[in-house]
Amino acid sequence: MPIEIPKDKWPGSIRKVTLGATAAEGGTRAKTVTVGGQATMPYLHFEAPTPNQPVVAIEIKSRKPEDWSPLLAEVWGEAMADPAKWAKAAEAAGADLIVLALTLADTPDDAVKAVKSVLGATGLPVIVWGPGQAEKDNELLVPVAEAAKGEKLVLGLCEDKNYRTIVATAMANGHLIQCRTPMDVNLAKQLNILITDMGLPADRILMDPTTGALGYGIEYGYSVMERLRLAALQGDSMTQMPLIVTPGFEAWKAKESKVGEGVPAAWGNWKERAVHWETLTAAALMESGADILILRHPESVKRIKAAISELVTA
């Protein structure tokens, strides 16, 4: 007996957002990356095609991070001391995008220099994060946005108490923004409203709903993403932004990845466990609808990219 699979038809869809600009579009990128466009829940190919598959970004920093796990230092080696080299290595490791995180030690000149050197070293679209303190973010991101005018960078992180300056400079210089809210559907939507109220077109916003690592609240992050996606498909235009998440940052904070000593023997091989932790965190988020996954370890990148291609060709 033939079984008919029930199909949902949604009134809404996710906005297409393009990162980066080629020379023809006023930038210097070798290629652009487009995410979004889905008209159904993730990977339900029988309901609607997935026009743009999830992409992987690799996070690098403007200065060598001292607090990263030795496992990451081991795999990136010397490149960590030079953002241009690190960006090249990341591209070679399979990244679709580069995230350049600026640090508190950077001056505006340092920040501009780091961004320019990364833009020179790679043809991939670039996401630039401030160090995460409102005033310092504004101080660094404004000159960066001006120096890279037309590149269609993504500037982050915009939060509800700190969005005006970043949004204003993104509008003036043709960039995108990554806006972050603390794991709440309403807060995510509210920040999108505030930002579009300022006049930034909705197709220049990536939504970062915040997540936790495996074992550290990932279920909550997962369900917030799922609810955002459901609201978007139901036609709520202020939740139809593509989702960008940071499983690398979250997973490498977890004791299970970070620490190799003083843990139970049953936890097994540290390096394997650490990569598993990052991969599993990322895979769960991917399945809940993430469009951009930001990772740290090249092995995780490889595994996640394999998982993506299996899911989209299934």
Partner 1 sequence: MTNHTITFTLADSKTVTVQARTGSLLSEAARQAGVEIGQPCGGQGRCGRCLVQVTAGPVRRRSTLRLANEDIQQGFALACQTVIEGDAAVFVPPQEKIERRLTTDRVAAEVSVPAGYEYSHAQTVRRVHLTLKSPSMDDQTDDWSRLQTALRTQLGINDTGISLGLMQKISAILREGEWRVTAILATMNPETPETSPTRIVALQPGHVDEYSPLWGIAVDIGTTTVSLWLVDLVSGQARAQVAEYNGQIARGEDVISRIVYAGKDGGADEMRSLVLGTINGLLETACKRVKASPQEVVKAAISGNSTMIHLLLGIPAGNIRLSPFITAVNHPPLLTGIETGLAIATDAIVDCLPGVASYVGADITAGVLSSGLNNAEEVTLFLDVGTNGETVLGNRDWLVTCACSAGPAFEGAGVIHGMRATAGAIEEVWINSETYEPGLRVIGGGKPKGICGSGLISLLAEMLLTGILDKGGNVALTVNSKRVREGDHGPEYVVVWGAETETGQDIVISHVDVDNLMRAKAAIYAGFTMLAQQVDFKLEDVHKILIGGSFGKYINVEKAVQIGLLPDVPWERFEFLGNTSVRGAYYALLDWRERENIRQIASRMTYIELSADNTFYDAFMSAMFLPHTDMDKFPSVSAALNKSS
| CB atoms inside a 10 Å sphere around CB 264 | 6
Angular region, 18: left φ>0, alpha ψ -120 to 50, beta rest: beta
Which of 313, 301, 178, 294 minimizes the C-alpha distance to 246? 294
Length of the chain: 314
Distance CA 192, CA 313 (A): 32
- Cβ distance to partner 1 smaller for residue 127 or 232: 232
Q: Exposed/middle/buried for 239, CB within 10 Å: 0-12, 13-18, 19+? A: buried
To the nearest whole angstrom, how small is the minimum distance from the Cβ of residue 193 to partner 1? 6
- Cβ distance to partner 1 smaller for residue 193 or 306: 193
Which of 168, 255, 131, 157 minimizes the C-alpha distance to 210? 157
Residues of the shown chain interacting with partner 1 in the complex, contacts defined by CB under 8 A = 160-161, 164, 184-187, 189-191, 193-194, 197
- Cβ distance to partner 1 smaller for residue 140 or 191: 191
- Cβ distance to partner 1 smaller for residue 25 or 160: 160
- Cβ distance to partner 1 smaller for residue 123 or 235: 235
- Cβ distance to partner 1 smaller for residue 126 or 238: 238
Which of 142, 150, 196 minimizes the C-alpha distance to 169? 142
Helix axes 108-121, 83-92, angle to 10 degrees: 30
Distance CA 162, CA 54 (A): 28
Which of 270, 255, 243, 257 minimizes the C-alpha distance to 296? 257
Q: In the β-sheet with 154-158, what is the strand arrangement from edge to edge?
A: 205-208, 176-180, 154-158, 126-129, 97-101, 55-61, 292-295, 244-245
To the nearest whole angstrom, how small is the minimum distance from the Cβ of residue 12 to partner 1? 14
To the nearest whole angstrom, how small is the minimum distance from the Cβ of residue 214 to partner 1? 23
- Cβ distance to partner 1 smaller for residue 66 or 197: 197
- Cβ distance to partner 1 smaller for residue 187 or 312: 187
To the nearest whole angstrom, how small is the minimum distance from the Cβ of residue 238 to partner 1? 8
Give me the half-sphere count of Cα atoms (radius 13 Å) on the Cβ side of residue 2: 2
To the nearest whole angstrom, how small is the minimum distance from the Cβ of residue 230 to partner 1? 13
To the nearest whole angstrom, how small is the minimum distance from the Cβ of residue 170 to partner 1? 16
To the nearest whole angstrom, how small is the minimum distance from the Cβ of residue 232 to partner 1? 14
To the nearest whole angstrom, how small is the minimum distance from the Cβ of residue 307 to partner 1? 32
Distance CA 288, CA 302 (A): 20
Distance CA 265, CA 117 (A): 43
